[in-house]
Chain A
């Protein structure tokens, strides 16, 4: 078994010592600190990002709260304004309506007066027309020329029976 041949024991031990010592010192002084630095740097970066993310989250929550508050405030204000507007509009409408009512009443009474007046006028005209027609008719039928006074007298006498 070559493992038990002592011929190369010293050589193996010597080179093992050389290479293992080199490996140990190199890893200890160069490689491992480099990896440790990288890992530490990454951990720091992660921590930093996490803390800034937390901060941003808090800020976002604050902003959200502010926005909600403002929305609520704006809603209340709007409601109030809508109510106010409705009230003023209602007042306006009712005053306008009452004005319109008065106006209409006045116009109706004026119209009534005018109607009465025109009725009277018409009645007068009808009387005249009756007199004229009667005069013409009597003239045509009887050749009697009636004077206006006579005619009026007759009409006045029989006026009751016209109505």
Chain B
């Protein structure tokens, strides 16, 4: 699989500096470097573009405010007033995934969102957090979340396990959706890039044109997946407040 020209080679992790902590390998890798760039880009952009003294925003400040309002609107539409507390978390998740995906679109840059362990960790944080929130809000009554009212009683032995399984598979679906999209998109780009080189004469122009179009599509998907991640987080938070 790790052949020289494999389209999956781009997902290989290379340590930049080897670090070990308590027997664990916590090397700073190209994946960590991508995360660093992502976090720096977000924090610097949101801090440097916002001038607290100006009433009329600059163009860049408008972009920051647009993102702020976008997530604030999303949260208030799905969760309502209860959601305000979780705004920093949802905003961070959205920006981290969005800019992580975008950084991955830069040629030779590593896409950390194409690694299942990263997306699963993010989804697990959401899942565990929302479950704790559900128990804090409703105590033991949170289990009634799996009980669907208005269904004939003999259906419950079937429906309750389905509900439990669907609840437990949330982190998996959330993480695999993002991971698979990023993996598939980048692999496809790499495959077509291989065609550009290997096709004879000028015919390589066709896959090149296809790559250009695919890059546009990938940027759209990068945004869309970040949006999906954020909106599902919002919906799960809403479920923790309103059981049915």
Contact = CB atoms under 8 A, between A and B. Distances in A.
30 contacts: A2-B13, A3-B114, A3-B115, A8-B13, A11-B27, A11-B31, A12-B115, A13-B121, A14-B24, A14-B26, A15-B26, A16-B112, A16-B122, A20-B39, A20-B122, A22-B39, A23-B42, A23-B96, A24-B88, A27-B91, A27-B92, A27-B95, A28-B92, A30-B43, A31-B47, A32-B88, A35-B65, A36-B68, A42-B55, A42-B57
A19 to B, nearest CB: 4
Contacts of A27: 42-43, 46, 88, 91-92, 95
Given A3-B115, A24-B89, 8 more contacts: A1-B8, A3-B11, A12-B32, A15-B29, A15-B35, A16-B122, A20-B39, A20-B96
Nearest to A24: B92
Given A2-B2, A30-B47, A11 B32 contact: yes
Given A20-B92, A45-B55, A3 B2 contact: no
A84 to B, nearest CB: 60
Nearest to B61: A38
Q: Which 9 A-B pairs have the closest CB atoms?
A: A28-B88, A15-B32, A31-B46, A19-B35, A14-B26, A2-B12, A24-B92, A2-B11, A8-B13
Interface string B9-29: 101110100000100111111
A34 B47 CA distance: 8
Interface of A: 1-5, 7-17, 19-20, 22-24, 26-28, 30-32, 34-39, 41-42, 45
A39 B55 CA distance: 9
A163 to B, nearest CB: 117
A23 to B, nearest CB: 5
B145 interface: no
A92 B38 CA distance: 100
B38 A10 contact: no
B39 A8 contact: no
Interface in B90-132: 91-92, 95-96, 112, 114-118, 121-122
Interface of chain A: mostly helix, strand, loop or mixed? helix
A2 B26 contact: no
A2 B25 CA distance: 17
A45 B38 CA distance: 34
B51 to A, nearest CB: 8
Contact of A38 (B43, B52, B88, B115): B52
B27 A23 contact: no
Interface in B61-89: 61, 64-65, 68-69, 87-89
B183 interface: yes
Contacts of B96: 20, 23
A8 B27 contact: yes
A71 to B, nearest CB: 41
A3 B35 contact: no
A64 to B, nearest CB: 31
A41 B65 CA distance: 13
Contacts of A35: 46, 50, 64-65, 68
B179 interface: yes
Contacts of A28: 88-89, 92
Nearest to B120: A13
Interface centre among A11, A13, A22 (most CB of B within 10 A): A11
Contact of A32 (B28, B38, B61, B91): B91
